[in-house]
Structure 1
Amino acid sequence: MSDPSLERLANATLLAPFPGAVPPRWILEGLERGMTGVTLFAINGNVPGAGELAGLTGELRRYADPLISIDEEGGDVTRLAHDTGSPYPGSAALGALDDPAVTRRVHRSLGAELREVGVNLDFAPSADVNTADDNPIIGTRAFGSDPETVARHVAAAVAGLQEAGVAACAKHFPGHGATSQDSHLEIPTVDADLPLLERRELVPFRAAIEAGVASVMTGHLRVPALTGDTPATLSHAAVTGLLRGALGYTGVVVTDALDMRAASDAIGIPEASVRALLAGSDLLCLGSKEFEDSVRAIREHIVEAVRQGRLPGERLEEAASRVDGLKAWLTKAGSAEVDRVAGLAAARRAVRVTGTPSLAPKPLVVEFQAPSNIAVGPVPWGFGPWVPDVLRVDADQADARELLERAHGRSLVLVVRDAHRYAGHRDLVTALLAARPDAVLVEMGLPVWRPEAVPYVATYGATRANARAAAEAIGLLEPVTGDALT
């Protein structure tokens, strides 16, 4: 195999990031030399607005027919709406609503928005079954904790995205929902034997495969019964043995970002890339900051692994063939219309209200600042867009007496996000409710913890749509029939 053809095959495995809203020359030259595509990141400035993004992707297509991928789940994890919050509810809300037709409609509209700006590969939906309440990385990104419920909605989401002409990607194989660690920072462990995996984690992935999912993303997590101490992304047993063999998946396999510590902290991204290809992956998502020099080093390391006989050239040819098949599918894929009414309508139906919230005019809204995980990023959330008097507090620093004084003579609304994960939040809520049992508690994460006998609202997510729906449910806003968020 000649050096130019080998380098082209190595390029064909790469989804590279880049800084800014204008593709740099090295990206365009890479596409001309066979690089499969790019991954867009809001934190890199790739998504300044719809018009600019469409211009960016159009420029990329002047040089090749690339895969243009993004991590757009349409819920708390959003890149298109990173500056406002998503106009669509996320997976937990859709799972709580449990109407697969709605999930399909929401994802069809989301796919239409992606296609309008030139994105053709979406790293969604999450097929994880969130069975660990303290899961720091999945939570509201999952459709729920019941495998069959998750499976129904994963299949619907895949259908919706792909009806809009965008390739879906079921993640994070073999399932990230039973973990209590963040794979951006360390290797999570799923303590499950193979029969339990079959009954729980694998059910939604089977549903995604049956729905014709265009790609599957591997997770950087170890399952001792399957992978030993190796993360699934680098495990031949997980990717080739289980996903390809037992589940019969023949489509494209893409890695989660290889800059995550769980994948590459001990061995480096170039070596993680080679091992992921050996395990059976076809596409390498490199991460957000692996620019020109890093991409060159990764490509050279792949080429050298082939020359040394560690990585069969046939493995690269196999990967390139699968990617070519995905690109061929995209040329024949359908399209759909953006339907943002679907997002707010679904968020409204997903809200769950216990008790009877009753607010006087000009209530005090206190939002508890919650740390954001790396996958979600700094996306705004809460009632701020519609309620002028919102107080955002650090629960560990706030004084209950001062808050009660400020709320004297006013209705009080307390807004939390995953309160079950933060003892300080629960303590402050408990202290405030002891003095103000008439207060309304709004949970914008998973409704795992709740006090008794107070008006309680669960949104199952913190998107812009979720916040608007909750504000309407407690009387902060008047609903307008059929409106859509912009």
Structure 2
Amino acid sequence: MTSRELDHSASPAGPLAPDLPADLPRLINSVILPGFIGTTVPQWLATALGNGLAGVVYFSHNIDPDAPEQVTALSAAIRAANPDAVIGVDEEGGNVTRLEARDGSTIPGAAALGALDELTTTTAAGRAIGRLCRDAGINLTIAPVADVNTNPLNPVIGVRAFGSDTALVSAHTAAAVIGIQAERVAACAKHFPGHGDTVADSHMDTARVDLTMEQMRQFHLPPFKAAADAGVAAMMSAHIIIPELGEAAATLNPAAGALLREMGFAGVLITDALDMAAVRATVGPGEGGVLALLAGNDLLCVGNPQNAYTTGRDDESCYTEVYDALFAAATSGRLPVAVLRRADARVQALVQWSKGKPLPETDVFYDWVAVSARACRLDSIGHGTAVTLPELTGSGLLTLVDARTGHNMAAGPTQNFLAQALGSYAVTEANATELSSAELEIVLMQSEGAVLVIVDSLDSPEQQETLELVLATAPGAVCINAGLAPEHACAVATIHCYGFSRVAAQAVVSLLEQEQGEP
């Protein structure tokens, strides 16, 4: 069945069987949350919304940053087709943003907030995220990250988490939930039951957590319990395998769904994207959707139709693949109608809650650049080996070496926000991945003024090699670490800014200029 046929209560072969409800097509639609291509509502999406589609997830390609009213108008058009639509977005602050994707987030990310460890500030940051979403007509932000990043080699969580300490992450997760939901925007704690101890990225492969359930309960489940206790409206299930729960990924595993409900959560359970490799390359998005509902999920996030692995398929076909699989499972009796009705009821309860009035605003103003600067950790700066940057002045020359070797799949490719923040300086940019060692040495030998080198993993051999090369040629270079900060102090001058976003970059520049101004 295609979306053009959804207004008929019929299967491709004919009318619905007498024992099936007449509203089955609407019920199936009510649990699907697809992405779409474009900055306006395509016809297939308008048709599906009119036939009960739960809503949509925005990605950066749905946002036109040059047209400030575009996203609000888009949300209004979606609600004209379905007044009860869920409009979701991955808006975490810091590295992961959709609404501010081009220019970078203006709100600190979780790692910076965790490093600062001020719960009132985290609540305020959550409220800022909620306000950003509400102003755009969005009623669900798929945040905060409640994972405890206990594995420093984790390729997908890292600075998206508040930290590696369970108690700290629990407290800040609850604080962020309270802030977001003060705006009547549903928060969604992710990625249950905890993606923080993985070394695989479930975007690219099935991730496995080789911990016992006792260890999970001690270290990784408490933030989700804290979110539930704070009244979080939604949670997101993870495509991760926990052996004691079985060999199915948590998203598809009834034992994981039951575990969450046993913790007292009664809200909407949303799947992580069904187009991620952990599902796409195993059972596929259609069958994955069926199994996810049977496992206790309520809303199926279909995914981003512009991802590289969906090349050659349009946004409608990504949606219909899931719809057709659910329809077949429901008409065969494999997917009970009662499961669909329960999920629909939970989603509608979230929507009706989101239509309420936000809580009164406080009169406290937060300068997020200043907050981010306070969160930064400075190694070898102002502690016996003070770094001076004599050329970092209004017309100064500066060489900026980017040693990063890739990008986080959740964040996607981004601009060099540090280069943008240094816009008032004469900056020579050098991308280490595009230059040979000899070519980079020539750039450094020809450089005048300060040298900065950006890394986002101090554990990466490639980035360490670039950093060592830079320091050998320019011993006064300053490392800007946009990744996790080690427990020990670095031996070189380093600013740990806990993420790579516009606000983090502006904070780094403010610190460099402040350092220059010190005697």
The TM-score normalised by the length of structure 1 is 0.92
8 A contact 2:388–2:516 mirrored in 1:
no
Equivalent-residue separation in structure 1 for 2:67 and 2:203 (angstroms):
27
Equivalent-residue separation in structure 2 for 1:193 and 1:369 (angstroms):
34
2:458 corresponds in structure 1 to: 419
Question: Secondary structure of 1:168's match?
Answer: strand
The one-letter code of the counterpart of 1:27 is: L
Equivalent-residue separation in structure 2 for 1:453 and 1:346 (angstroms):
26
Question: Secondary structure of 1:53's match?
Answer: helix
Question: Secondary structure of 1:60's match?
Answer: helix
- Out of 405, 420, 426, the position equivalent to 1:370 is 405
Question: Secondary structure of 1:384's match?
Answer: helix
Equivalent-residue separation in structure 1 for 2:276 and 2:491 (angstroms):
43
- Out of 291, 295, 299, the position equivalent to 2:315 is 291
1:351 corresponds in structure 2 to: 376
Structure 1 unaligned blocks of 5 or more: 480-486
Which deviates further from its counterpart, 427-436 or 456-465? Answer: 427-436
- Out of 249, 255, 272, the position equivalent to 2:265 is 249
1:26 corresponds in structure 2 to: 44
* Pair member with larger Rg: 2
- How far the C-alpha of 1:309 sits from its partner, in A, is 1.8
8 A contact 2:107–2:128 mirrored in 1:
no
1:223 corresponds in structure 2 to: 242
2:354 corresponds in structure 1 to: 330
1:401 corresponds in structure 2 to: 441
Equivalent-residue separation in structure 2 for 1:105 and 1:404 (angstroms):
42
- How far the C-alpha of 1:49 sits from its partner, in A, is 4.4
- Out of 75, 79, 93, the position equivalent to 2:98 is 79
2:5 corresponds in structure 1 to: none
The one-letter code of the counterpart of 1:267 is: V
2:333 corresponds in structure 1 to: 309
2:492 corresponds in structure 1 to: 454
Task: Spell out the pairing of 1:179-194 with structure 2 (5 A cutoff).
Answer: 179-194=198-213
Equivalent-residue separation in structure 2 for 1:368 and 1:48 (angstroms):
30
The one-letter code of the counterpart of 2:259 is: L
- Out of 481, 488, 503, the position equivalent to 1:443 is 481
Equivalent-residue separation in structure 1 for 2:94 and 2:365 (angstroms):
13
Equivalent-residue separation in structure 2 for 1:80 and 1:57 (angstroms):
13
Are the structure 2 counterparts of residues 5 and 195 from structure 1 closer, same or farther at C-alpha, using a change threshold of 3 Å?
A: same
Equivalent-residue separation in structure 1 for 2:461 and 2:321 (angstroms):
45
Are the structure 2 counterparts of residues 87 and 116 from structure 1 closer, same or farther at C-alpha, using a change threshold of 3 Å?
A: same
Are the structure 2 counterparts of residues 113 and 44 from structure 1 closer, same or farther at C-alpha, using a change threshold of 3 Å?
A: closer
1:383 corresponds in structure 2 to: 418
Point out which structure has higher relative CO (alpha carbons under 8 A, 6+ apart): 1
Equivalent-residue separation in structure 1 for 2:244 and 2:97 (angstroms):
34
- How far the C-alpha of 1:216 sits from its partner, in A, is 0.4
Which deviates further from its counterpart, 91-100 or 351-360? Answer: 351-360
- How far the C-alpha of 1:3 sits from its partner, in A, is 5.3
Equivalent-residue separation in structure 1 for 2:73 and 2:142 (angstroms):
21
Q: Deviations over 1:406-437 (max 9, x none)?
A: 23x533222222232x2122122123324543
Are the structure 2 counterparts of residues 466 and 2 from structure 1 closer, same or farther at C-alpha, using a change threshold of 3 Å?
A: same
Task: Spell out the pairing of 1:32-181 with structure 2 (5 A cutoff).
Answer: 32-43=50-61, 49-65=67-83, 66-181=85-200
1:319 corresponds in structure 2 to: 343
2:11 corresponds in structure 1 to: none
The one-letter code of the counterpart of 2:295 is: A
Equivalent-residue separation in structure 2 for 1:191 and 1:478 (angstroms):
47
Question: Secondary structure of 1:50's match?
Answer: coil
8 A contact 2:63–2:70 mirrored in 1:
no
Are the structure 2 counterparts of residues 49 and 342 from structure 1 closer, same or farther at C-alpha, using a change threshold of 3 Å?
A: farther
1:483 corresponds in structure 2 to: none
Which deviates further from its counterpart, 1-10 or 337-346? Answer: 337-346
Are the structure 2 counterparts of residues 250 and 144 from structure 1 closer, same or farther at C-alpha, using a change threshold of 3 Å?
A: same
Equivalent-residue separation in structure 2 for 1:266 and 1:47 (angstroms):
36
Which deviates further from its counterpart, 253-262 or 282-291? Answer: 282-291
The one-letter code of the counterpart of 1:351 is: C
The one-letter code of the counterpart of 2:407 is: S
Equivalent-residue separation in structure 1 for 2:418 and 2:360 (angstroms):
31
- 2:274 is equivalent to residue 258 of structure 1: yes
8 A contact 1:41–1:47 mirrored in 2:
no
Equivalent-residue separation in structure 1 for 2:360 and 2:442 (angstroms):
52
8 A contact 1:130–1:142 mirrored in 2:
yes
- How far the C-alpha of 1:366 sits from its partner, in A, is 2.2
Structure 2 unaligned blocks of 5 or more: 1-18, 306-313
1:432 corresponds in structure 2 to: 470
Are the structure 2 counterparts of residues 449 and 393 from structure 1 closer, same or farther at C-alpha, using a change threshold of 3 Å?
A: farther
Equivalent-residue separation in structure 2 for 1:322 and 1:452 (angstroms):
49
1:467 corresponds in structure 2 to: 505
- Number of equivalent positions: 474
Question: Secondary structure of 1:475's match?
Answer: helix
Equivalent-residue separation in structure 1 for 2:477 and 2:509 (angstroms):
14
8 A contact 2:153–2:199 mirrored in 1:
yes
Equivalent-residue separation in structure 2 for 1:340 and 1:297 (angstroms):
47
8 A contact 1:128–1:176 mirrored in 2:
yes
The one-letter code of the counterpart of 1:319 is: A
Equivalent-residue separation in structure 2 for 1:60 and 1:429 (angstroms):
48
2:8 corresponds in structure 1 to: none
Question: Secondary structure of 1:267's match?
Answer: coil
The TM-score normalised by the length of structure 2 is 0.87
- Which consecutive aligned stretches of 4+ in structure 1 deviate over 6 angstroms post-superposition? 336-340, 476-479
Aligned CA RMSD, in angstroms, stands at 2.2
Question: Secondary structure of 2:498's match?
Answer: coil
Equivalent-residue separation in structure 1 for 2:367 and 2:456 (angstroms):
24
Equivalent-residue separation in structure 2 for 1:397 and 1:22 (angstroms):
44
